[in-house]
Structure 1
């Protein structure tokens, strides 16, 4: 009406979503418990001859059975060259012996999203696959160590991105420098969405994290021209409470020993 001013409150609402209460943290924690259990189930049943959708169905069932009320993204099962989609949903492709595979699930609990994402090989790793996973896992460990350092010492967030990026620049696999395959941000925010919350860190932007916030450490290497190492990721959920960093995902970095063990 007359004399009324319409004000864009998007920034206010965004800030409110970014900083998390203890109640929100508990919802995120439960979502990540569910995510870890569902990914463990998918890893356990993977074998040659199954369609990607069959593996995804196991994860979806476990997530719902444990109380998930939705998902942050369609459940990921990518095998062989399909890993180049980065976050593609499961297809009807039949998984083959020797395939590199990634699985990922983002359950929603009371609206808040969890995550767990891992890559592995169906069967024994070849020498080039061994090199790839050694690089991927080491890059994740460098990023995780720097995230802890950043949180505990109130340092700029871009350090978390630069640590693995600079490390990958020192590595070559099958004639390719590995830095080029880490082409997206190492960390992003989380909450009511899996990845569309503030803030996505950038190697050239020296921003500080908020006080109590959700963080997904999403360390991927995608797009190598060799199909046997076409892509994979280690993605874990964290909660920053002041200067304390709490890891919420309950999975080892390298999950190869969990593959095909059965439920």
Structure 2
């Protein structure tokens, strides 16, 4: 954790501030290891503080070695101001402009009499974008939970079962295996509902002949996995097989293009051009993928508008799809680690053929 703080201090010099105030839960955890639900991190060139209230001070002392723990009895701005007047010794404070609401920013500004406040965006996120070995190990474990849950849930998907029952089964298995939580509200979209990219599981009953798109993941040690598979309930027709094969080809081409040194938009193009060339370009309206880690959606974005040069250690999803209103849709998604000369697909759930549940 302290190595991450030192890297942040280097960024603070370039940003022209003497201290940085972190309130985002993900960034707070990344820098300190603190898992409580209320608190803030204050970083100066010399000092390091974890501010929290009475409920969490004991926990913070256990979880945050190297940090001075400050119990906040009044307001957080008052506590920051007291530090600035003491051994903190700063007159210009950076804060997370992308995280604070306007009212929170104004309360902080008004409470810091004599201390300037400068909103800054994405400083900690720049550090988080490339994962170290320990982070990738946690993501791999979260992927394992999702893969195993998918395997165990497949026999449960049949006509007469509701989408919500499938989602409940997936979450139950992941939690029983040791996952901290589901990564997000599970998507189970069957039949014509599979044309909804974010068709959260509903009370709809799965029918024979349906395509079922299942998008879910696990959280482990704070880190997320993300997996999508589309399956057929009963023998698929020619159009279902055609759409699936196009999406699979697009996903494989994107994965083949994924490596350190390539721009994110180039990976998106590899998938998008495949789908366009088959006449379905207007039915693929989202990006090809996104970064993930402590948040389910992080940078970089594998989209037409993201020119980020991919680096070793970035973890992204690759998830093209085709969505035909009134008919249904297909999406296939893997969690992938960017490496020199290529990438490593963490997801192991089968995809090379449309899974048929009879």
Instruction: Tell me if both proteins adopt one fold, taking TM over 0.5 as the criterion.
Output: yes
Aligned to 2:330: 232
1:86 paired to 2:197: yes
Secondary structure in structure 1 of the residue aligned to 2:290 = strand
Q: In the TM superposition, what is the alpha-carbon distance from 1:12 to its structure 2 partner?
A: 1.2
CA distance in 1, matches of 2:308, 2:203: 42
Larger RCO (CA within 8 A; separation ≥ 6): 1
1:1-263 equivalences in 2 (<5 Å):
1=112, 3-147=114-258, 151-152=259-260, 154-171=261-278, 177-195=279-297, 197-222=298-323, 224-227=324-327, 230-243=328-341, 245-254=343-352, 256-257=354-355, 259=357
Secondary structure in structure 1 of the residue aligned to 2:331 = strand
Distance 1:244 1:7, change over 3 A: farther
CA distance in 2, matches of 1:121, 1:202: 28
CA distance in 1, matches of 2:220, 2:187: 18
Check the 8 A contact 1:116/1:249 in 2, yes or no: yes
Q: In the TM superposition, what is the alpha-carbon distance from 1:19 to its structure 2 partner?
A: 2.1
Check the 8 A contact 2:232/2:356 in 1, yes or no: no
CA distance in 2, matches of 1:210, 1:248: 17
Q: In the TM superposition, what is the alpha-carbon distance from 1:14 to its structure 2 partner?
A: 1.3
Secondary structure in structure 1 of the residue aligned to 2:236 = coil
Structure 1: which 5+ residue stretches go unaligned? 172-176
Distance 1:133 1:36, change over 3 A: same
CA-to-aligned-CA distance 1:89-143 (integer Å, 9 cap, x gap):
2111111000111112111001100111111210001111121111111111111
Check the 8 A contact 1:140/1:164 in 2, yes or no: yes
TM-score by length of 1: 0.87
Check the 8 A contact 1:97/1:123 in 2, yes or no: yes
CA-to-aligned-CA distance 1:168-213 (integer Å, 9 cap, x gap):
2221xxxxx3111111110211011212x11113225432023421
Q: In the TM superposition, what is the alpha-carbon distance from 1:9 to its structure 2 partner?
A: 4.2
CA distance in 2, matches of 1:85, 1:129: 16
Structure 2: which 5+ residue stretches go unaligned? 1-111
Secondary structure in structure 2 of the residue aligned to 1:27 = helix
CA distance in 1, matches of 2:338, 2:311: 8
Secondary structure in structure 2 of the residue aligned to 1:199 = strand
Secondary structure in structure 1 of the residue aligned to 2:301 = coil
Aligned residues: 247
CA distance in 2, matches of 1:198, 1:16: 11
Check the 8 A contact 2:191/2:210 in 1, yes or no: yes
Distance 1:4 1:218, change over 3 A: same
Q: In the TM superposition, what is the alpha-carbon distance from 1:44 to its structure 2 partner?
A: 2.5
Check the 8 A contact 2:234/2:356 in 1, yes or no: no
Q: In the TM superposition, what is the alpha-carbon distance from 1:16 to its structure 2 partner?
A: 2.0
